[in-house]
Structure 1
């Protein structure tokens, strides 16, 4: 999920003994996460993962996510530039299977006003994508048999048939609830959508419900019920359709 969540404060005394080899880190935070990898309060019953965040002396951000059995789920390194907005100029993320084996490595970087994504299984390139805007991407998916397919999105995640159509749909159907206006409530409502291998919506949820205005949440749920534009399923590393979650922000701003 490409989301911007506020990192919670340092959780003191959690996990220092069960994550050996990390005590040399210069700065470290341990963050409990829910099933959607969203930061939650320490001790929440919904905790599914733990993320250890460290910052090196060179300014490299390292994030390692573990399940509650202390199995490594993912490891990501990021480098940021001193500019606003604070966005990474380079990322390397490794995803692991439940048995600890490396499934794939994803690289993301910015160059010449474009965003590049490359995914490797071992040393084999399986996805090569470049986007000069969120609505304009082009690249290639390389199947295990070597066949090359032109793609216009990250095929390992579910997607929308057309982002332009999605935004037009929101523009025509989304209203600003009066109760939220009265409360001067603004912000982003993040929806999680579980898309099955047929491209059908199997489940939906507002992942930041607890921190959002109830009127905005209710409006988002109403609008989602009206959407009939369909979805594109994610693929596995072999190129076959699979069930996966996608996350979308719906923004409310007072004029």
Structure 2
């Protein structure tokens, strides 16, 4: 099992696209088209699969509701933020729904005493209780349907890397900064979307922010991914069985 740093992709990329808090004023309503990965796209794009409705309450609570194209509710998320740089949530509640409208599970995330907590419930029954310290080393437990507890050190409902330290060492040895990107002073993060099957094998991949990234950086990330042979950890469903799911990883380029 892995102990290392984890990035909450949905939050980071979502807020990056939304431009919060400047996007919405109190009580203002915005509708954002999303693709199959729940990423914002241009209005009218043929790849649209969902719509997100975003509002901010007078108390400063960010409310995001996501619907499919048949207007069925997919998820409902509430977040509270503190005035900081970078902007970070202090509390989140996210509910996920089945296609028939029934609630599948609820996820809570909050910060307390310099630690980040994640709790997942099916109804009123806890299935995941996880805490990550300031270094984002995590420990907690998963509760199986039969009540048996299993120690975990990551969010098992998402795919992961077997060893984050080994991944960072791999990048350090294999990732190069393209000269053309240096000449253009291009830097930033290239986000990889990786589809991992129930055996932990890579089924598909794409660069999430290709359109807004330097082409030479994208090409370098794709080259390095082809060399990676360290494997992945599959996601698990609410019953604890391995399942196929997408994961998202940032690869950072910074000029010295």
Confirm or deny: 8 A CA contact 1:34 1:46 kept in the other structure: yes
1:160 matched to 2:152? The reply is no
Cα gap change, 1:229 to 1:135, in 2 (>3 Å): farther
Decide which moves more: 231-240 or 44-53: 44-53
Counterpart of 2:80? 79
Which of the numbers 5, 9, 12 marks the counterpart of 1:2? 9
- 3-state SS of 1:7 partner: helix
1:48-68 deviation per Cα after TM superposition (whole angstroms, max 9, x unaligned):
111111000000000011111
Counterpart of 1:229? 230
What is the Cα deviation at residue 180 of structure 1? 1.0
What is the Cα deviation at residue 133 of structure 1? 4.0
1:142-178 deviation per Cα after TM superposition (whole angstroms, max 9, x unaligned):
0000000000000000010111111111111100111
What is the Cα deviation at residue 135 of structure 1? 4.6
Structure 1 segments unaligned to the other structure (5+ residues): 10-24
Corresponding residue pairs, total = 240
Q: TM-score, normalised by structure 2?
A: 0.91
Q: RMSD over aligned Cα, in angstroms?
A: 1.3
Counterpart of 1:97? 98
The whole-number CA distance in structure 1 between the counterparts of 2:35 and 2:135 is 27
What is the Cα deviation at residue 85 of structure 1? 1.8
Counterpart of 1:13? none
Counterpart of 1:150? 151
What is the Cα deviation at residue 82 of structure 1? 1.6
The whole-number CA distance in structure 2 between the counterparts of 1:57 and 1:151 is 38
Mapping for residues 1-255 of structure 1, pairs under 5 Å: 2-3=9-10, 4-5=12-13, 6-8=16-18, 26-133=27-134, 135-255=136-256
Confirm or deny: 8 A CA contact 1:135 1:164 kept in the other structure: no
1:64-107 deviation per Cα after TM superposition (whole angstroms, max 9, x unaligned):
11111111111100001122221000000001111211110000
Q: TM-score, normalised by structure 1?
A: 0.91
The whole-number CA distance in structure 2 between the counterparts of 1:137 and 1:26 is 37
- 3-state SS of 2:166 partner: helix
Cα gap change, 1:135 to 1:26, in 2 (>3 Å): closer
The whole-number CA distance in structure 2 between the counterparts of 1:192 and 1:133 is 26
Whose relative contact order is higher, 1 or 2, with alpha carbons under 8 Å and at least 6 apart? 2
1:17-49 deviation per Cα after TM superposition (whole angstroms, max 9, x unaligned):
xxxxxxxx8111111111111111111122111
Confirm or deny: 8 A CA contact 1:36 1:207 kept in the other structure: no
Confirm or deny: 8 A CA contact 1:135 1:163 kept in the other structure: no
- 3-state SS of 2:30 partner: strand
The whole-number CA distance in structure 1 between the counterparts of 2:91 and 2:118 is 10
The whole-number CA distance in structure 2 between the counterparts of 1:237 and 1:133 is 27
Cα gap change, 1:49 to 1:134, in 2 (>3 Å): farther
What is the Cα deviation at residue 230 of structure 1? 0.5
1:193-226 deviation per Cα after TM superposition (whole angstroms, max 9, x unaligned):
0000000001111111111111111000000000
